[in-house]
Structure 1
Amino acid sequence: MPRAKGVSHQVLIALLVRGFGAGASFALSLVVARVLNTTEAGLFFIAFTIVSAGSRVASMGMPTAILKVVGANEHSDWGLINNVIGVAHRRIAAIGFLVVCVASWLSASIANYIFGKPMLATLLPITSLCVFLLALLQVLASAIQGRHRAGISSFVLNSVFPLVIIIGTGILVALGLSIDARSLVLLLVSGLLVALAIASIVWWRDSRSRWTPFAKPDVSFNRSVIYLSPIVIMDIVVQWSGYFLGSAMLSSTDMAIFSTAQRTAMLGSLLLIGVNLVVAPKFSAAFTKSDMRQIKQLSRQSNRLMLIAATPFVALILAFPSMWMGFFGAEYERGSALLQILTLGQFINLLTGSVGYLLMMTNHERDYRNIVLLTGPFAIGLAFVLTNFFGVVGAAIATAVAVATQNLLAVYMVKKRLGFNTLSFFSP
């Protein structure tokens, strides 16, 4: 039975690929900040955040459930794997159709009354299509990840569409054409279609893969989805409540600065995502074999790698926030304090390790669901109060505190259910 030996090598490869995706994401933020004024940039970042958060809601936790199924059954039951992927595609297609119809019909009302940004109305129908496309991409990327192909999974999910947007923007600039937020959202559609095509080729070129459009729902899969759906929603609330409440209460300029600060702060947490690409399916496989020792080894080994890799990066951001924000333009430098606050919250997220996946891959979805059901409303209330009193700085503080609280509660639950502390980095 494979042990944690060799995981470091796999994690390093995943981190290299994920680092490339992080670089592409950072470059995309730079391009947006440079080619658009702060008002248009703010509108694009709001639309992009709607796509990121909305796609996770539309997928209803199915990517994580698929990751669990594929990780546990890759060498045994491809009938089950094909079945759950067919069910996921059918459900997301239905949800996507509904989302596109509602967004197209009520775009003006959503833009005016929810976000207080009338100019956002023209972006929402295209944005809703992106929500559907990204949800489909997340399902395929999770299935690929479950087969322990972390590198290609990360590439199709995180690198392809930013590269398409950057290249497309360069072409538009070279042709002397005007660029606005709508242009970049249309390029996002193109990028997601390219990424979906690549992911589809990777998945269905395997002879074991079968297209099953009339697949029947699996009982255990449905149970996982029932637990994971509220987890996904509340996880988004914790991560993005400060941003969405700020979008409704603050100017587009403030939100452009907040978004660049948050996306820069999250570069460090991409290390955690890269590690999760490798260890999440291994957690599921080890739990299937009742090998708790391997789960503990994998967790501690990956946590040590993240601590070593993330500390220098976080130190650079905390020491030179103005330099980082200055990359986006002089007007963004006033977001230096936001960057420091958000980076501290993400650093705690890194220190706690893969606690969410540890619980979800070991049949403790219910415990993690209870944690996020507690921290989600807490995040909303905190964001509303602090944003109201302290503006964009309050939104940043609320986001950092909510993220840290959720992960520390998950550390406690891992200790209670699995018997070890993920913060004990160097325990033998």
Structure 2
Amino acid sequence: MSEGRGPDRSSTADEATPVRVGVLSFHNSKETKAILNAVHALGHEPVWLREENARSWIEDGSLRFDPDVEVVANRLLMTKAAQPLDDLGVATSYAASRPVLNPPAVVVQALHKYGAAATLTAAGIRVPDAYLALTHRAINEGNRLTGEKAVHKSAIGTGGARMSVVGADDAVSPHIARRRAFLQEFVDTGTERPYDVRAYVVDGRVVAGMKRYAPSDEWRTNVAVGGEVEDFTDDLPEEAARLSREAADALDLDYAGVDLLCRDGTWYVLEVNVTAGFKGLFEATGISPAPYIAALAVERGGGSVDPDRVAELAAVLDDSVPACKPSLDPEPEEPGTVGYTERVTVSAGERAVDVVAKSDTGARRTSIDFDVAAEIGAGPIVDTVQVRSGSRTGRQKRPLVEIDVKIGDRWQTATASIEDRTHMAYPVLLGRDLLDRYHVDVRKREREE
């Protein structure tokens, strides 16, 4: 398992001193909350490292963090991040001087399913046959799989999304939803109802295991698509448990969900999931991995825990909102005032531009002109929305992007729609998503040159 550089604790240090454990997570998942609550229940100090509170600086040759922590548990959801490399960079800064569980370099190695399968194969761990090619011609003309069926799957993804079973002669794409894809042998378990096994490994130990059965009209077993779960912790064969431990170790993961299949008495590692969920596992087994992850983090930070207390906490999945969740930027005591038209600064990270915007309390969402979006480098598109235009007939589909808007001396983030506003007087329209924090004075107008 990966070891980082821990805090300097002498042998005479007070062993009861709480360890400040940071959980790096920019989302609100049950798993993140459960780990933080487990750290607190074990008598140590949880710190939720989020976009709202995490900051770092380099000064006079020293690397500093606020809030500071002694160890970090990485729970970044890279498969759903808009800018995964940016998020990994944040994790890398912590890993430079703090022990990090599932450090960024390890996550990169495990995140790509075909790359992870290659690493497992090189380590002598059985995985289903697979084939990767990067062009339409190569993937369809050079397929080396010999079975009648294969699984066409995204190289990066979770929850079984967009996977499909294809025939040996079916034409497939080297991409799924703009991400690279590959073919993996379809492993027929020979059972009437398809199932696989999820074993959750923490620090080289299988803490829980479950069977996942596919719904009646589905071949995928993922809980996200309706798979039913059953406790398999005590009945997990030693070969399957050993493969799970070896897979996590080969990928250097401190904790992971390992998916397995058995065919004709032989077990295979299907996938290894860096940020596997706990909900289905706890539903099936009554065991939460969160206290085991919390305990590992405390120990990596130089502290100690009571194993009996860890086992006791594992019987409950406490995913309530932890007290350590940082608050959003504090609201001003008195709402500010914005005019019918207002000079604002709009940015998407690439550059910032000053424009005159119109306030519209009847619009739910802020919108910006195509040219403004291009000038500030807005993107990627995070979603689309259907809107009814007041000046045009019918409904239109508009892309949505994340932008930052400065009104007065305050920056705010909005998910804005992009539209052609060249026929309108103002390139930016401020909707209620931003205006709800202000009084709108329709008599106040920006002087336009």
Q: Common fold, TM-score beyond 0.5?
A: no
Output the TM-score relative to the length of structure 1. Answer: 0.23
Rg: which structure is higher? Answer: 2
Q: Flag the structure with higher helix content.
A: 1
Bigger relative contact order (CA 8 A; separation at least 6)? 1
Q: Flag the structure with higher strand content.
A: 2
